[in-house]
Amino acid sequence: MKRSTDAILTIATSRRVLGWLLAIAFGFIAGARLFAQSDSALGLKRLTQDQWTIITDMPIDREIESWPKMLDQALLTWCQKWSIDPAAARKWPLVIHWIGDRKLFEQAGLLEGVPPFEDGLQIADKVFLREQPSVYYRRHLLLHEATHWVMYRALGGGGSPWFMEGMAEIEGTHRWEEDQLTMGIIPGNASSVPHWGRFKRLAESTAAKRMPSIKQILRYGNERENRMDRYVWSWAACVYLRNHPVYGPLLGRASAAPLDYSMKLSEEFEKSLSARWDWVERDWKLFVDDFDFGYQPESNLVALEGIAPGVSESGLSEFTLDTDSAKGWQLARCFLKAGEQVEIHAEGTYVVRLANQEAWESSPDGITYEYHRRMPLGKLLGGFVSTETSAPLEVFGVGKEAVYEAATAGWLLFRINEPVGQRLDNSGTLQVRGRITSSRPR
């Protein structure tokens, strides 16, 4: 393994102390040379290991030393993911500019021809990162920009803007523990990803009624306005679509190499979904409602297209549903026409939390000891998905009993009220019974 450290230094530190510090920092020093006269005068440091070069004005610590090792693992993962020949990929150089003081990089001529950017940017074999408020988020940004780089190198481009940014956000969301990198995670809690804030932004956007449809996301451009909102929605859409049993394979086809940066991917994908848009948007609403820390696509993602049509055709006026307290939205065999009312009754006890070897038992009304989204933890919720309008998912409290009147035709779903990541330790089911009782003429 080739490893060299070019550092340096206008600092008033003796060469002996410096050498000692570097020896600790890097274990091995191939030679400390001036990066370039002008750069050294500016205090920029340059580290090179194999294909990775880091240029920075920031202090070199253990975290930065670990970047080449982390990028080695990332590259191997990307090679497997996109069938890239690792031997070829190892020959692609990447220069990482990690920027504390932008002026220093400007003075060194390292930002010539680089457009303005807020956080990070990739241009060919160079990435540029501004310093971030947390170590996690700095690494996130590095992996995000490096994803743009590897897609540019291996696939010829990142695809349409939403896909390019969504994929970079998927790969950027990572765990780095004991020198092991896992990318593409959905974090279990906020404390493991300081300053990441993606779920917070999604929740704020949804609360402000700015949740975009999938069609709107596919048509995102590169404009700078509302950039972060578009990034997080692109990430959510990528997670949703890539994990969907029906739409995932279609996206796989539309995003196959070669890629460019045009709207071609979006247009092809949109075309492949044209006969089923309503389904795409309905599942998206259910996904967004549940998508939060600890979300597991394999157990939480609902695909209505395969199950709901049978419910519409059954014509049943009564239903029962054993609602699993550990699961997300569950479809009842009940199709409501506009104006129809349904009477709902629920019973059963189930465990909503295991804390200090104590099981918190709940009934359908929930536990008022704790609230989530302004309703008691464990309370039975109903969800209504319209088949006639693009209205958002309607969520309503049910508890032991409730009457719901449908304003349009659609399906009923149930789940208990608890953040998705905290449902995993639940056990038990509720018996939900429903009866369509009256129909209001329209």
- Taking the least distance from each CB to Zn ion, the nearer of 165 and 289 is 165
- Taking the least distance from each CB to Zn ion, the nearer of 137 and 335 is 137
d(CA 105, CA 45): 11
- Taking the least distance from each CB to Zn ion, the nearer of 165 and 171 is 165
- Taking the least distance from each CB to Zn ion, the nearer of 138 and 423 is 138
CB of 221 to Zn ion, least distance (A): 14
Q: Tell me, rounded to whole angstroms, the distance of Cα 87 from its chain centroid.
A: 30
Contacting range for Zn ion; rule: CB under 5 A; set: 165-173, 195-203, 345-353, 377-385: 165-173
CB of 287 to Zn ion, least distance (A): 22
CB of 162 to Zn ion, least distance (A): 11
| Contact in structure between 376 and 370 (CB atoms under 8 Å) | yes
Q: Which among 372, 320, 380, 304 is positioned nearest to 349, based on CA atoms?
A: 380
Please give the size of the binding site for Zn ion, defined by CB under 5 A.
2
d(CA 116, CA 121): 9
Contacting range for Zn ion; rule: CB under 5 A; set: 167-175, 204-212, 296-304, 369-377: 167-175
| Contact in structure between 280 and 214 (CB atoms under 8 Å) | yes
d(CA 151, CA 128): 16
CB of 144 to Zn ion, least distance (A): 6
- Taking the least distance from each CB to Zn ion, the nearer of 168 and 301 is 168
Q: Does 155 bind Zn ion (CB under 5 A)?
A: no
d(CA 201, CA 369): 27
Q: Which among 339, 295, 313, 311 is positioned nearest to 413, based on CA atoms?
A: 311
| Contact in structure between 52 and 127 (CB atoms under 8 Å) | no
- Taking the least distance from each CB to Zn ion, the nearer of 128 and 287 is 128
- Would you give the binding string for Zn ion spanning residues 304-343, x where CB under 5 A is met? ----------------------------------------
State the amino acid at position 110 in one-letter form.
L
Ramachandran angles phi, psi of 391, nearest 5°: -55, 150
Q: Alpha helix (H) ranges present in 43-184? A: 62-65, 67-81, 86-89, 102-107, 135-155, 161-172
| Contact in structure between 9 and 40 (CB atoms under 8 Å) | yes
- The pair of three-digit structure tokens given for residue 111, joined into one six-digit string: 């930002």
Which strands, in side-by-side order, build the sheet including 410-416? 330-336, 410-416, 380-386, 394-397
- Would you give the binding string for Zn ion spanning residues 238-257, x where CB under 5 A is met? --------------------
Contacting range for Zn ion; rule: CB under 5 A; set: 159-167, 171-179, 342-350, 361-369: 159-167
- Taking the least distance from each CB to Zn ion, the nearer of 104 and 168 is 168
CB of 329 to Zn ion, least distance (A): 32
Contact residue for Zn ion among 108, 129, 168, 334 (CB under 5 A): 168
d(CA 60, CA 35): 15
d(CA 219, CA 205): 18
CB of 158 to Zn ion, least distance (A): 8
d(CA 220, CA 260): 15
Residue with the CB atom nearest Zn ion in the bound state: 168
Contacting range for Zn ion; rule: CB under 5 A; set: 60-68, 168-176, 263-271, 341-349: 168-176
CB of 228 to Zn ion, least distance (A): 11
Contacting range for Zn ion; rule: CB under 5 A; set: 55-63, 84-92, 158-166, 320-328: 158-166
- Taking the least distance from each CB to Zn ion, the nearer of 57 and 165 is 165
- Taking the least distance from each CB to Zn ion, the nearer of 168 and 237 is 168
DSSP states of 138-175 as a string?
A: HHHHHHHHHHHHHHHHHHSS--SHHHHHHHHHHHHSEE
Contacting range for Zn ion; rule: CB under 5 A; set: 76-84, 162-170, 216-224, 345-353: 162-170
- Taking the least distance from each CB to Zn ion, the nearer of 35 and 78 is 78
Contacting range for Zn ion; rule: CB under 5 A; set: 87-95, 161-169, 383-391, 422-430: 161-169
Q: By CB under 5 A, what part of segment 90-119 binds Zn ion?
A: none
Q: What is the largest CA-CA distance in the chain?
A: 90
- Taking the least distance from each CB to Zn ion, the nearer of 165 and 283 is 165
CB of 142 to Zn ion, least distance (A): 12
CB of 85 to Zn ion, least distance (A): 25
d(CA 231, CA 93): 27
CB of 165 to Zn ion, least distance (A): 5
State the amino acid at position 68 in one-letter form.
P
| Contact in structure between 404 and 324 (CB atoms under 8 Å) | no
CB of 168 to Zn ion, least distance (A): 5
- Contact footprint for Zn ion (CB under 5 A): 165, 168
